[in-house]
Structure 1
Amino acid sequence: MTISVRNEQAEAGTFEVRSPGNGDLVGSFPMHTDEDVAATVARARVAADWWAGLTFRERAERLDRFRGIIARRLAQLAGIMHEETGKPHSDAVLEASLSLDHIAWAAKHAPKVLGRRRAGVSLLTANQAASVEYRPLGVIGVIGPWNYPVFTPLGSIVYALAAGNAVVFKPSEFTPGTGSWLVDAFAQVVPEHPVFQLITGDGSTGAALCASGVNKMAFTGSTTTAKKVMASCAETLTPIVAECGGTDALLVDSDADLDAAADAAAWAGMANAGQSCIGTERVYVHTDVHDAFLEKLVTVARGQRAGTDPDATIGPITLPSQIETIRRHINDVLRRGGRAVLGGADAIDGSLVQPCVLTDVPEDSPAVTEETFGPMLTVSRVGDMDEAVKRTNATTYGLGAAVFSKKRGTEIADRLRCGMVAVNAVFNYPQLPSLPFGGVGDSGFGRIHGPDGLREFSFARSTARQRFTPPLALTTFGRTAKTDSLATKIMTLLHGRH
């Protein structure tokens, strides 16, 4: 299991990271203190002024070169991810690859989304020239997750950088090596100032970053931790964008392509060992196709195997404490009359969890109401899609969802309360840099990716320039009764008929 070890080294201010697959030492990293974090943020403030002073094109050139380094060294980066998280090397390569389009999109579109543009005026303000632009906030703190240690944090980092901010990045204590690689790669293309810096450590280091007075925090992790981050940031009135977990559902209508739906459900629920914030955990299937779908799903899932060898399609569970959550969810379902049509209690062996498919699961079971974060799916029969929609929305979470239907996919999707929805596919919306990514409710708030992601790390700056003296001077103590009367008549003519 991946663990942070306190020993003689830790006494000297470091911690160790070990592979979840074999327990081998991956590396030793600094346990940064409050003072270290404060000094890092201070350096970032100086760097932020310089970085913001560059043009959009100059920043884009640096981001494009950063993208080039990642592309050329994908195998190396994936190797570190594999060692730290245990995920299959091919999955690590895929994850890092998907980040490249986002870097390119943010660099290219920042001028159009954030640059100065004209704003409209009215009849009474025709003498004004109005414009709006979005300016960088300054220093952005990013607390990244361990499950997707490249793709997820870069969704905040590169959009913040493209918007003109400096970034202080605190990766998970389980994946500091991946974070270090990214920061070192960026420093190769921006050697002048520490625009993108790394701090490492456990929760105490993250807490120090929250209290450091950065201009905004971007957090990815559990809802419970997000509340702590938000409370800490409130002390300095630091805004946050929070991308938390979910219990995402996949809905299968009676006319769905069952082969595609089964393959998608298996991937969305079990890839990355089920450790995906947008991973499918609940499947609601129309009664007319339930049995056929379940058979196909089990066939696909049975063909997958969790292991640490190169042929395994599923890696180990990275976070040791998650094993007990998975075990508790499975045991609760079985105790309450549910069935394991694949896997079950004996699917757990150390840090490995083999694919599990559970049916006849009560809707108030923790396997339905809580995030499992393991390679496990609950499959429930529903009489129609109205019932499926109702069950899907009966949660405090609201991150993502997927709908499989040949005729009514979009119609059904429009009724789901979530920040993102896929139709006849899974995991497609995070691949599209133009789409905002985020949830509602306990799944968080704010957005990364897309135009919203660029604006998330900026503030709107409005400028109104008077081009000539107005015929009706309204904002002056010299305003006359005649002016008031004329202004009233004009406004009545413009708006009174409505």
Structure 2
Amino acid sequence: MNTEQDQTEAPPPAPSPAADSRPSWVSDDLLDQWRAWIHRDRTGQEPHAPEPVTALAPWDLTPIPPVPACTPEDVVSAATAARTAQREWARTPLARRARSVLAFHDLLLERQDQVLDLIQWETGKARYHAWQEVAQVAAIARHYARRTARYLTPRRVRGMVPGLTKVKEVRVPKGVVGIISPWNYPLYLGVGDVLPALLAGNAVVSKADSQAALTLLWTRALLHEAGLPADLWQIVVGDGPVVGPAVTDAVDFVCFTGSTATGRGVAERAARRLVGASLELGGKNPLIVREDADIAAAAAGTVVAAFANTGQMCIHIERVYVHEKIYDTFRDHLVRATRALRLGRSYDYTADLGPLVSPVQLAAVRAHVDDALAKGAKALTGGRTRPDIGPLFYEPTILEGVTADMDACASETFGPVLALYPYATDDEALDLANQGTYGLSASIWSTDTREATRMAGLIRAGSVNINDGAAAAAGSIEAGMGGTGDSGLGRRHGAEGIRKYTESRTIAVQRLMPLGPSPRQPVESFVARTNSQLSLLRRLRVR
């Protein structure tokens, strides 16, 4: 591969946005309305309030208008207000809760251009990738509004004494749920977990990421317009190490999405309080291309799976294992498809990829690539910044010859970088895919779907996509989504995605006679009679 030729044939940038990146319809008055949704305890905290949070727009590093920062006291106040609102909400019929969520669904689709602008402004992602968030949240809203009654329906079970003991299990809300969401998918991860928590009868305290607070505030206003009571969903913003622990300390269940290191801290803090937690954490996700794969389709799918959202996605592919007999052909297809991607910044669909979200993220990606190149790896394409488009743009990069001593081999890069490796047998491919401590998502490409399905059962991952990179599993809202090992615990989506926000309560009704011996019956005779009954039930094969 001629890397120098690749560098001179970079696709032209897409049209640039306005000088300060701000969408033209976002006025200062509108920003003030959204910022009013941030919960701050105004009973004496103002003199000690921290400095407002100011993020930088990834397209051009211009400041996004600041939002107020919260203190731990603000979080306590937010949780208290939410708890008061939750008592009434829990008594609200599910049908009414569902109507509000369905109304939100309709408003979201109707006004999606606004939130698409906000997502792009705050995260820099391409508009199509922002739209995917809208589509996913709409699907989540519709699914849980229609399926919550089935997921949470009371379940009748056999009592201790059949016919005399009537027992059922019911699901009751946890109370106040804390949701700590990241910047990379501010709508999907910030709101997709909120909706089932609300439908289950909970209140929510959300810790918005400082990079993408406006997206969450816009959505909060939209849900209120759709009929959600004002105090039921509280939003706090501020320094993660300060506000995050305060949220975990104030709620009855915490849902966290982010890094493995921070997730461990959240889990430990929740465990000390004996409250539950679900965690979706990092990944170093593998993709296997079998000898019988459709090479062109596999290459196109790999590009999407590796570079969507500029690789800033926990389920994106970073390791690609290709059968040695098709390795060269697949590599050529993959490089051509990658070079065709359009980098740009515009409030339309002309760009395929946007920039990285921050100078810190850019530095991390460059460090991984530079380390690999210095130790002998080769960049088949990419491997450089694009300041001609914007300060945080980095070309999608394919590395070859990555070895175990390179940072890009086992550590999550979280950027537009993938590494190619050849393999000889399916067993070798499975061993390679299962290397490391992560277990979030994986992909297998093969025309023999039966064999690919067998292999999928042997990969350590929360989900395995066959002839798709990541979207097929993530987009199946009725199926759980999550990881194993260092990739977390618990699931979003499906039944577990809403039941985790509830407690199981057993209600038993005893009829005609109490359990245990009557006041006049000798204990010995009761025990003997019960032993006979137990033996009879065993012979009758009663479960």
- Confirm or deny a common fold (TM above 0.5): yes
Query: Given the alignment, which residue of 529, 532, 537 partners 1:486?
Result: 529
Q: Shift of the alpha carbon at 1:332?
A: 2.4
Q: Tell me if structure 2 keeps the 8 A contact 1:305–1:355.
A: no
Which residue number corresponds to residue 36 of structure 2?
A: none
Which runs of no fewer than 5 residues in structure 2 stay unpaired?
A: 1-19, 22-47
Q: CA deviation at 1:205?
A: 1.9
Partner of 2:377: 338
- The Cα shift of 1:102 comes to 0.7
Number of the residue aligned with 1:409: 452
* 1:250–1:280 CA contact under 8 A, matched in 2: yes
Change (3 A) 1:113 1:386: same
Determine the structure 2 residue equivalent to 1:388.
429
AA matched with 2:432? R
TM-score by length of 1: 0.93
Inter-CA distance 477–390: structure 2 relative to 1 (3 Å threshold): farther
Shift of 1:348: 6.0
| TM-superposition CA deviations, 1:156-198 (whole Å, max 9, x none) | 1111111110111111110000010111111112354411121
1:244-259 matches, cutoff 5 A: 244-259=281-296
From the superposition, tell whether residues 102 and 177 of structure 1 become closer, same or farther in structure 2 (CA, over 3 Å).
same
> CA 1:477–1:319 in 2, change beyond 3 Å: closer, same or farther?
farther
Alignment of 1:136-151 (within 5 A): 136-151=173-188
Query: Structure 2 vs 1, CA of residues 461 and 290 (structure 1 numbering), >3 Å: closer, same or farther?
Result: same
Aligned 8 A contact 2:176 2:251 in 1: yes
Q: In the TM superposition, what is the alpha-carbon distance from 1:291 to its structure 2 partner?
A: 1.2
Residue 321 of structure 1 aligns with which residue?
Answer: 360
Kindly indicate whether the alpha-carbon contact (under 8 Å) linking 2:282 and 2:487 is maintained by their aligned counterparts in 1.
yes
- 1:356 Cα deviation from its structure 2 partner: 0.5
Return the match for 1:25 from 40, 63, 66. Answer: 63
In structure 2, C-alpha distance between the alignment counterparts of 1:184 and 1:161, rounded to whole Å: 15
Aligned to 2:27: none
1:44 aligns with 2:82: yes
1:263/1:324 CA distance change after superposition, 3 Å = same
Change (3 A) 1:12 1:489: closer
1:400 alignment partner in structure 2: 441
1:79 to 117, 125, 128: 117
Once the two structures are superposed, residues 52-75 of structure 1 have per-residue CA deviations (whole angstroms, 9 ceiling, x without a partner) of 111111110111111111111100
Q: For this pair of structures, how many residues does the alignment match?
A: 488
Query: Structure 1 CA distance, aligned partners of 2:57 and 2:413?
Result: 22
Encode CA deviations 1:18-48: one digit per residue, 9 max, x unaligned.
Answer: 2111122322101011121111111000111
CA RMSD after TM alignment: 2.3
SS at match of 2:356: coil
Contact 1:159/1:448 (CA < 8 Å) preserved in 2?
no
Q: Which amino acid aligns with 1:380?
A: Y
* Cα deviation 1:445-497 (Å, max 9, x = unaligned): 01111101111101101111113327x84698955323322322332344479
Aligned: 1:194 with 2:231: yes
Partner of 1:7: none
Q: Which letter does structure 2 place at the counterpart of 1:180?
A: L
Question: Could you say what secondary structure the match of 2:439 adopts?
Answer: coil
In the alignment, structure 1 residue 275 sits paired with structure 2 residue 312: yes
- Aligned partner of 1:438 in structure 2 is 482
Equivalent of 1:155, from 180, 192, 210? 192
Q: Are 1:422 and 2:422 an aligned pair? A: no
Q: What is the CA–CA distance in structure 1 between the aligned matches of 2:183 and 2:459, rounded to whole Å?
A: 28
CA distance in 2 between counterparts of 1:233 and 1:196 reads: 21
Q: 1:295 to 1:474 in 2, by over 3 A?
A: farther
Judged with a 3 Å threshold, the aligned counterparts in structure 2 of structure 1 residues 469 and 320 are, in CA distance, closer, same or farther, namely same
Q: Where does 1:80-95 land on structure 2 (aligned, <5 Å)?
A: 80-95=118-133
Q: 1:191, 1:484 → 2: CA distance?
A: 56
Residues 365 and 415, structure 2, Cα contact 8 Å, conserved in 1: yes
Distance (Å, rounded) in 2 between the aligned partners of 1:49 and 1:418: 38
2:267 equivalent to 1:226: no
Partner of 1:375: 416
Residues 49 and 71, structure 2, Cα contact 8 Å, conserved in 1: no
Structure 1: tracts of 5 or more residues without a match = 3-9
Q: Deviations over 1:370-425 (max 9, x none)?
A: 11011111110011111111111111111111111121221111111111111111
- Where in structure 2 are the equivalents of 1:109-188 lying within 5 Å? 109-121=147-159, 124-188=161-225
**Structure 2: how far apart are the matches of 1:72 and 1:494?**
60
Task: Give the secondary structure class of the aligned counterpart of 1:428.
Answer: helix
State yes or no: 1:99 paired with 2:137: yes
Letter paired with 2:333: K
- Selected match of 1:352 from 393, 405, 424: 393
Partners of 2:259 and 2:410 in 1: CA distance: 14
Does the 8 Å contact 1:187/1:196 carry over to 2? no
Q: Does 1:300 align with 2:337?
A: yes
- CA offsets, 1:188-243, max 9 Å, x none? 123544111211112122222122x2111111110111122223334433321111
Q: Distance in 1 between matches of 2:243 and 2:285?
A: 31
Instruction: Rate the CA distance shift 1:254–1:130 in 2: closer, same or farther, 3 A.
Output: same
Distance 1:483 1:383, change over 3 A: same
Contact 2:49 2:70 in 1 (8 A): no
Q: Which amino acid aligns with 1:327?
A: R
CA distance in 1, matches of 2:496, 2:516: 38
Residue 219 of structure 2 aligns to a residue in which SS?
Answer: helix
**Cα distance in structure 2, aligned partners of 1:462 and 1:11:** 45
Could you tell me how far apart the structure 2 residues matched to 1:456 and 1:77 are? Answer: 28
Post-superposition offset of 1:11:
7.8
SS in 2 for 1:142: strand
For the residues of structure 2 that align with 1:424 and 1:300, how far apart are their CA atoms?
Answer: 17
Moved more, 159-168 or 87-96: 87-96
Q: In structure 2, what is the Cα distance between the partners aligned to 1:171 and 1:402? A: 31
Pair 138,75 (structure 1): closer, same or farther in 2 beyond 3 Å: same
Q: SS of the residue aligned with 1:412?
A: helix
